[in-house]
Amino acid sequence: MQSKTENTENRENKEEKPSEILDKQSEETKEIDLNRPEFYINRELSLLAFHRRVLAQAKDSKMPLLERLRFLCIASTNLDEFFELRVAGLKQQVVAGAVQAGPDNLSPQEVLNRISTAAHEFVDEQYSLLNENVLNFLEDEGISFLKRDQWNKAQSKWVREYFENELSPILSPIGLDPAHPFPPILNKSLNFIVSLKGKDAFGRDSGRAVVQAPRALPRIIPLPQELSNHPYEFIFLSSILHAHVEDLFPGMKVTGCYQFRVTRNSDLFVDEEAVEDLLRALEGELPGRRYGDTVRLEVPDNCPDKMIDFLLKHFKLTKLDLYQVNGPVNLNRLLALPDLVDRPDLKYPSFTPSIPKNIKRNLFVSIREGDILLHHPFQSFTPVIDFVRQAASDPQVLAIKQTLYRTSADSVLVDALVEAARSNKEVTVVIELRARFDEEANIRLATRLQEAGAHVVYGVVGYKTHAKMIMVVRRESKKLQRYVHLGTGNYHDRTARIYTDYGLFSCNKDLGEDVHKMFMQLTSLGRSASLKKMLQSPFTLYNGLIKRIERTAETAREGKPAHIIAKMNALTETEIIRTLYRASMAGVKIDLIVRGICCLKPGIPGISETIHVRSIVGRFLEHTRCFYFLNGEKEEVYCGSADWMVRNLLKRVEECFPLEDKTIKSIVIEQGLKLYLEDNSQAWVLDNEGNYNRIVPEEGVEKVSAQQKLLQLLAEKTSG
């Protein structure tokens, strides 16, 4: 036994264990019912468990201190989105009277109740970690946050001047009375509820007011060096406002001032079949996102019950939706701190992504010599940018086609596409306007590209375009040659530095034809054409995966080596899970590397004994999707844009491409899959009761971190 596991989750599951259920069945007379709810993990609770694994990174004392703070903030941001989308959706189901349960047989209200319990524990753990651990260690390193009762005379004077010059001119305190009702509160904004005594200039005595903190101002303010007791000293914006809130109500006495923040439903609804212009319809919906139905209220733990009841009543929430915190209600705004502190020793060591040796200055020449694989962020994203830039300036290039799901606001790829369009090349860009939380940015990109003369398509009604593809058509020796880039991640140069993803360059004729056909499907109204090499959602990928799993099961029944390794972000699709269960029952060895949601239960006697599930949470966000099938001596490897979820397999346009070059295939198997199965430093193992346990290497056992090893193997230089 090389490692042990450490359980970090509460075991609250009181239902019968899968093994107990199987014991009650007669194997001789009954076929096992794979629809039993005991064989499935709830989707939302599994997602919340992933957020707990992210939070565990902040608890790890071996991590650089500012990175621990960063993970604490990321966990907070993740929880915000969880409430904005998942909790909001469940609440809508309850209001609509929905009782339909998923494969785990939990009703929407049952899931909400469990989420409330787990989320309250999660939030308490966050603030305990912040106050009792992270802030203390930061202070030991000369990075501190000054509380109001710690300000000396000079600091107090500076704070007053900051308030008068930077805050007061843009604040609009609103007294609550019939002429001044409760103002609209923006989603996740910082606000203060103020209790008052006395009458204002007009003799009004409402007793309450609301002050909204300007979103444009930072939430942590650096104190000038000459006034600081530490190398880095900060004051919370909320502390400055608390100290001088009475100045906003002359002649009245402030008897209490308390932060609060509300989280709202942030999902957009547009009936695509009922609108004529999707872009304009989304533009109309975007402002409403800021004022959707409330789903959560956060207040400080010293806020009086009377004030809490007032806020809950106004926002139509219950005590289950209330979160009382010991610290800033907008915890994720601390994410700015690492960028304000020049302490490389408290951050991850820097590194330089490498560029593969087989990439020459002219990418078209390089690709003609053989397929090229990039593994981000260990290898640079620059060749992808250069691919489009060279295509834009190359007189032999006639057309460029690309999908865009998410990209940066100042994307250099978009700059290159604009340049190509202005150079009279045929430029077609499929932009997914409904990429959640990027709708506004994508609308701006679409408008910019259209103004440059590019053909912009918004995808297919009812199906998000999530595929990651670029195709360049070049005239060579009196014939047209297609060059393609296929990826597992977005064309986003910033996330390419922190997400692990694969990208493949190829001029393979069949791959080129397949990509061409997929673009034709997206831009025209014609029927889908069959693909030669690739699998595609929503047409062939779902059945193609099931077919390959079943074929591997048949191989195992024949007594031949049969192995499946699949790496993805989420596994929720029920029929895929059932097919994996049947393959396990046939004897297939199945290793699943699932970063986030996993609804499958491994290790159930008689059902999933040969299935092992692990999640890797480390410095980089694991984002690669790659799938390995061993049938006897034959190895198949696919990479793609789709997770094994209903939405990806049946409700989106996704691409999944084979790796046929022997060297590239071997690299992905060894570095992208098997190395992650050896990880005993950043791996969490899922047990058959639905709990994740962190692997802890036993004494004397070599520690293996897949991400660190890939940095050593692929990055040009690692410092520190």
Task: Check: CB of residue 66 under 8 Å from CB of residue 343.
Answer: yes
CB atoms within 10 A of CB 245: 20
Residues 6+ apart with CB under 8 A from 130: 72, 327, 331
CB atoms within 10 A of CB 197: 12
d(CA 192, CA 257): 6
Per-residue exposure over 151-178, b if at least 16 CB sit within 10 Å of its own CB, e if not: beeebeebbeebbeeebeeebebbbbee
Reference 217, options 249, 192, 241, 245; nearest CA is: 241
244 flagged as catalytic = no
Q: Which residue has the tokens 């595609």?
A: 536
- Token pair for 40: 């499935």
d(CA 667, CA 659): 10
Please report which helix (H) or strand (E) contains residue 395, including its range.
Answer: none
d(CA 18, CA 21): 5
d(CA 198, CA 176): 14
User: What amino acid is encoded at 138 in this protein?
Assistant: L
d(CA 95, CA 115): 17
| DSSP codes of every residue in 624-659 | --EEEEEETTEEEEEEES--BSHHHHHSEEEEEEE-
Per-residue exposure over 684-719, b if at least 16 CB sit within 10 Å of its own CB, e if not: bbbbbbbbbbbbeeeeeeeebbbbbbbbeebbeeee
φ/ψ bin of 4: left (φ > 0), alpha (ψ from -120 to 50), beta (otherwise): beta
User: What amino acid is encoded at 622 in this protein?
Assistant: E
User: What amino acid is encoded at 304 in this protein?
Assistant: P
CA pseudo-torsion sign 527, 532, 537, 539:
positive
Per the residue annotation, which of 466, 485, 492, 623 is the catalytic one? 466
Q: Which residue has the tokens 């565990």?
A: 56
User: What amino acid is encoded at 700 in this protein?
Assistant: G
Q: Name the residues annotated as catalytic.
A: 466
